[in-house]
A and B are shown apart, each in its own frame.
Chain A
Amino acid sequence: MVNPKLKAPDGPPSDVEGIKDRSNFLRGTLAEVMEDRISAGIPEDDNRLMKHHGSYLQDDRDLRNERQKQKLEPAYQFMLRLRLPGGVATPEQWLVVDDLAEKYGNGTLKLTTRQTFQMHGILKWNMKKTIQAIHSTMLDTIAACGDVNRNVMCISNPDQSEIHEEVYELAKMLSDDLLPRTRAYHEIWLDEEKVAGSPEVDEETEPMYGPLYLPRKFKIGIAVPPSNDIDIFSQDLGFIAIVEDGKLIGFNVAIGGGMGFSHGDKATYPQLSKVIGFVTPDKIYEVAEKTITIQRDYGNRSVRKNARFKYTVDRLGLETVIEELENRLGWKLEEARGFKFDSNGDRYGWVKGIRGKWHFTMFIEGGRVADFDGYNLKTALREIARVHKGDFRLTANQNLIIGNVADEDKAAIESLIEKYGLTDGSRYSALRRGSMACVALPTCGLAMAEAERYLPGLIDKIDEIADEAGLRNEEITIRMTGCPNGCARHALGEIGFIGKAVGKYNMYLGAAFDGSRLSKMYRENIGEEEILNELRVILPRYARERLDGEHFGDFVIRAGIIEATTDGTNFHD
């Protein structure tokens, strides 16, 4: 019997629903418009579809006005995001991606907060060549963006290597098996011959997604306590590994998290997922698939701002969703098991894993791999990739692990780290290592303010304040985004900045160090001077008044500086 509460919101479908509907399973006119030589851009409708192929059109916003005067179109370029389940790449793959960034991109790589590579600045006519080169190294960009299940995250913390392998395989399986089935990607980018014959039947082409795919993006992650490095509560669907006697026995299931919201719109808010039960490892695909179909059927296809699964859960009610999930599964979830997280950050430096292999975690500021003035990071990592026999793991905090280094190979890697000064102190303060920033200006079309380009300079100044207060080695997470969409999971930073306008930010405080509590707005629309003035008061106070082991995010609440956000629905209160 169908629960009467189970209903999608009324209202006409949004424009994107129409575009998907007319697209013939994500094809649209992409093949044609990519051939056009008069513009480096593509029409908006095709750009919407392009996302499902892992890319979208951007332009260099720094040049927008200037180029308009010069009678030139905007400096259109594509961002290309890879699908890299769990953030694991081989040294060979690293070298291919590194080379593509030089050859077709802007010469840099962005390690994203969802553990994958992003390339910027690719011109239209180089897209096919780039995607084909990615394909040649056994990687792809399918579903890296768009209204589908995105890159599946999983723990990268090398301490846990005894079950990392097992968890990683599950993440990869989820990512592979939840892919769209349309051949559009292969036809458009890889020159696959169109299969002749009968027209495609919806149910056969996309048995799970259907022709309209999902109302909005869908994110899955797997965490292994005590590390919450992937911010499990920010995912639409999270699996929390339960380990007993060194063995993986199953996962707690959490549903309905998500970071994005819109300034000034209280119907939108960041939300943390809720744990709804426990399943054994063999069941997680089934759980993922059924959860996705609930969102497919009842998500909001009318208003995209309210289309994420978190709103579906909050609207239908958690109990209703659990009941429907169990209906669709045909069995009941077990009771959730106990677990404890201690941090959502990374641990830096060398760690010896359970199987005797070494892992080196290094901080990558803003996730940007580039050759900077006096700091040739990109070159260094290329040289490491050339001698490295293990793997690379991209962390959810935009950092990098040089993983699975044998005893006898460690010295070679270490000497390269030394040679290029990859761990020099000035780039390595505790505050800096706990920082994240999204791309924002100049390429992101959504950004209202700087993030990646600005945060390092701001941290220089905050570091001075922290130093004076004696907090030099204190870990506090700082996250900055150029807009409220939350690519750097701003609402889970102990200090969060969300761009409002160029040079202006809303400042948030009170998130938990382990990612279990959202922040709340502390000051609205303030510039650098006001930000620093606030911190000149709060940070010394924290240094003086904190309890033993008390994290900054907890302190500001205990001290009454900010009220705790107990649920996404009271984030704006």
Chain B
Amino acid sequence: MLQLQVMNSPFNEEQTELLNRLLPTLTETQSLWLSGYLAAVQSSTLQAAPAVEERPAPASVPSIPKEVTILFGSQTGNAQNLAKKAGKSLEEKGFQVIVSSMSDFKPNNLKKVKNLLIVVSTHGEGDPPDNALTFHEFVHGKRAPKLEDFRFSVLALGDSSYEFFCQTGKDFDKRLEELGGTRITPRVDCDLDFDEPAAQWVEAVLSGLSEGASSSQSPSTASVSAAAPAESVYSRSNPFRAEILENINLNGRGSNKETRHLEISLEGSGLTYQPGDSLGVYPENDPELVDLLLAEMNWDPEEAVRVKEETVTLKEALTSHFEITVLTKPLVEKAAKLSGNEELHQLASDSAQMKSYIDGRDLIDLVRDFKPWNSTAQEFIAILRKMPARLYSISSSFEANPDEVHLTIGAVRYDAHGRERKGVCSILCAERLQPGDTLPVFIQHNENFKPPENPDTPIIMVGPGTGIAPFRSFMQEREESGAEGKSWLFFGDQHFVTDFLYQTEWQRWLKDGVLSKMDVAFSRDGDEKVYVQHRMQENSREVFEWLEQGAAVYICGDEKHMAHDVHNTLIDIIEKEGGMSREQAGEYLADMQKNKRYQRDVY
């Protein structure tokens, strides 16, 4: 073998020395593996590079590469992103990977899969995300196949402040085992701060797969997924500090509501987005609340504490780095370990009592209710959740507003347990954020809420309250692109006079024909409460006609009541106007969902 030198190779002196030491020690299999590995890395990372040189034919054909299927169920796009990232890591290690949303995966193919990875989030009361519904049902139903020689692992996403934390992931994990599968590595449940545990899961999966893999793994040149657009350096883990350009209240005087319209500059960030995407925002806690906590614990705000690699003041840590407004089960359990308070121990060990206690309470309640606290501030903050990012559906089109992103945020204020409670991010926006200030933001792409690719496809949009946000983005985009398809918007809120969000814009789009039809429902204007679904009912024949013409239906906003009611109303309409049975109507809608003609962005 040629002795590498600085002169006859592109390597520097240190590298040539290392290579010269390593290369002679390699077995034939090892060097073959390495050459393929390097070629694959090259092909997946150097998009613009000239075609990779044909890989020299290996001396002997290695065993068939291992195939891995990664299915994701994602509402906001986090699970999807993680699934793609895992896929990339696996491909780099030479696996043949298929990454797919659960809704795009044919359930009957499950039998053929040998290695399945599931990345799935959980919503509401332990519900699967929209694009996981059908698959979840299939796996749990009678038609689910016996799985032999089948290995799997689940990465579950959730929020530990909800009772049914990571429930959907748990469901899959349990069920796949029942069906005969064995775990590559145990399920990992991620809280809002999922980056680290998710990376660890991928590591564990890799080593688990390698152990069980045949003696050699061949590198794969399987083409990597289509080239992604040039990515900005800013991301979830490296947010961009974006300047606030405008911050206004959209609700007129006398409203019960406050909805902030924010215009934020993305200039210089390289960040772009599509209609339907969300903006992630890292908020700061209310300084009053932080002061209250510091006073309650008798802590010195200036005390230096370690947060990850940094040293910051305690006040800064509590303001920007940790969540103090939500209690979770793990948090209370950890707090109990720090405390000698008997009542707290009791609470931590009684899940029913715990559930009712954490509901609507925050850290200040906890530290007040279970004194004394003897741990140091450093010890105490170690039990807190990292400040999670808030995701908001973007209400602008990048095409129409280059270098800007607009948000529509409902201010959250309510009383609970004798104190006024405020939404962390929404009230930051409502009460403290001024034009000129900055916010750490990132773009969260959402492939599950996209306008139809065909500009002639009619769209029906249902977005009461702040659910209107993505449809403003849709309309701006359509106005820019001149899309010809019909569009129909259903909007609702409490009062016409004060709560008709972006009223003059819809009026203009209606006048200009960008928006073909709009129906509104204001629940508190009349004697009877009227909601968007009632307006849909009133127009049931026409709604069904649009569906038959291929219209795509989009729903955005409150999940618990609105999305549920609208869903049922759609089935009612299909049943009635299509002359179908309830079951057929449900299938009709499920079919639409499968064909991406029924998309939801609900929260």
Contact = CB atoms under 8 A, between A and B. Distances in A.
Contact of B507 (A39, A63, A66, A69): A39
Nearest to B535: A37
A73 B519 contact: no
A71 B249 CA distance: 10
B518 interface: yes
Interface stretch (B132-140, B182-190, B250-258): B250-258
Nearest to B499: A72
B504 interface: yes
Which of B500, B505, B520, B526 has its CB near the most chain A CB atoms (within 10 A)? Answer: B500
B519 A37 contact: yes
B525 A72 contact: no
A71 B525 contact: no
Given A39-B507, A40-B496, A125-B525, A75 B252 contact: yes
A66 B253 contact: yes
Interface in B503-521: 503-507, 510, 518-520
A442 to B, nearest CB: 12
Contact of A75 (B248, B497, B525, B526): B497
Given A37-B520, A66-B253, A72 B500 contact: yes
A245 B398 CA distance: 87
B497 A71 contact: no
B331 to A, nearest CB: 39
B502 interface: yes
Interface string B481-503: 00000000000000011101111
Which of A37, A68, A72 has its CB near the most chain B CB atoms (within 10 A)? Answer: A72
A63 B253 contact: yes
Interface residues of B, number: 24
A71 B252 contact: no
Nearest to A75: B497
Contact of B496 (A66, A68, A70, A123): A123
A161 B200 CA distance: 98
Contacts of B252: 63, 66-67, 70, 72, 75
Contacts of B249: 70
B506 A38 contact: yes
Contacts of B518: 38
Given A37-B519, A38-B520, A123-B496, A73 B507 contact: yes
A123 B497 CA distance: 9
Nearest to B504: A71
Given A38-B518, A40-B496, A125-B525, A70 B248 contact: yes
A123 B496 CA distance: 10
B261 interface: yes
A70 B250 contact: yes
B505 A71 contact: yes
B251 A70 contact: yes
A60 to B, nearest CB: 9
Given A37-B519, A123-B496, A123-B497, A73 B253 contact: no
Interface in A111-149: 123, 125
A37 B503 CA distance: 11
A37 B507 CA distance: 11
B506 A73 contact: no
A227 to B, nearest CB: 43
Interface in A47-94: 63, 66-73, 75
A38 B248 contact: no
B497 A69 contact: no
B6 to A, nearest CB: 66
Nearest to B520: A37
Interface residues of A, number: 16
A71 B253 contact: no
Contact of B510 (A38, A67, A71): A38
A72 B252 CA distance: 8
Interface string B210-252: 0000000000000000000000000000000000000011111
B532 to A, nearest CB: 13
Contact of B504 (A40, A72, A75, A123): A72
A251 to B, nearest CB: 48
Given A37-B519, A38-B506, A71 B250 contact: yes
A123 B495 CA distance: 11
B503 to A, nearest CB: 5
Interface in A22-53: 37-40
Contact of A71 (B496, B502, B520): B502
Which of B497, B505, B507, B520 has its CB near the most chain A CB atoms (within 10 A)? Answer: B497
Contacts of B510: 38
B408 to A, nearest CB: 11
Contacts of A71: 250, 261, 501-505
B348 to A, nearest CB: 47
B505 A40 contact: no
Nearest to A67: B252
A258 B498 CA distance: 40
Interface string A91-114: 000000000000000000000000
Contacts of A75: 252, 497
A66 B497 CA distance: 13
Contacts of B504: 68, 71-73
A39 B520 CA distance: 10
A81 B248 CA distance: 37
Contacts of A40: 496-497
Contacts of A38: 506-507, 510, 518, 520
Contacts of B261: 71
Contacts of B498: 72
A72 B255 CA distance: 13
B524 to A, nearest CB: 13
A71 B468 CA distance: 14
A75 B507 CA distance: 15
Contacts of B506: 38
A323 to B, nearest CB: 54
Contacts of B520: 37-38
Contacts of A70: 248-252
A210 B502 CA distance: 44
A75 B261 CA distance: 20
Nearest to B497: A75
Contacts of A66: 252-253
Interface string A316-359: 00000000000000000000000000000000000000000000
A39 B511 CA distance: 12
Contacts of A125: 496, 525-526
A96 to B, nearest CB: 18
Contacts of B251: 70
A286 to B, nearest CB: 49
Nearest to A41: B507
A68 B506 CA distance: 14
Interface string A8-29: 0000000000000000000000
A58 to B, nearest CB: 13
Contacts of A68: 504
A62 to B, nearest CB: 9
Contacts of B526: 125
Contact of A73 (B248, B501, B503, B525): B503
Nearest to B518: A38
B248 A72 contact: no
Contacts of B496: 37, 40, 123, 125
19 contacts: A37-B496, A37-B520, A38-B506, A38-B510, A38-B518, A38-B520, A40-B496, A40-B497, A63-B252, A63-B253, A68-B504, A70-B248, A70-B250, A70-B251, A73-B500, A123-B496, A123-B497, A125-B496, A125-B525
Interface of B: 248-253, 261, 496-498, 500-507, 510, 518-520, 525-526
Interface of A: 37-40, 63, 66-73, 75, 123, 125
Q: Which 8 A-B residue pairs are closest in the complex by CB-CB distance? A: A71-B502, A71-B504, A72-B503, A72-B252, A37-B520, A73-B503, A70-B250, A73-B504
Given A67-B252, A68-B504, A123-B497, 12 more contacts: A37-B520, A38-B506, A38-B510, A63-B252, A63-B253, A69-B248, A70-B248, A71-B504, A72-B252, A75-B252, A123-B496, A123-B525
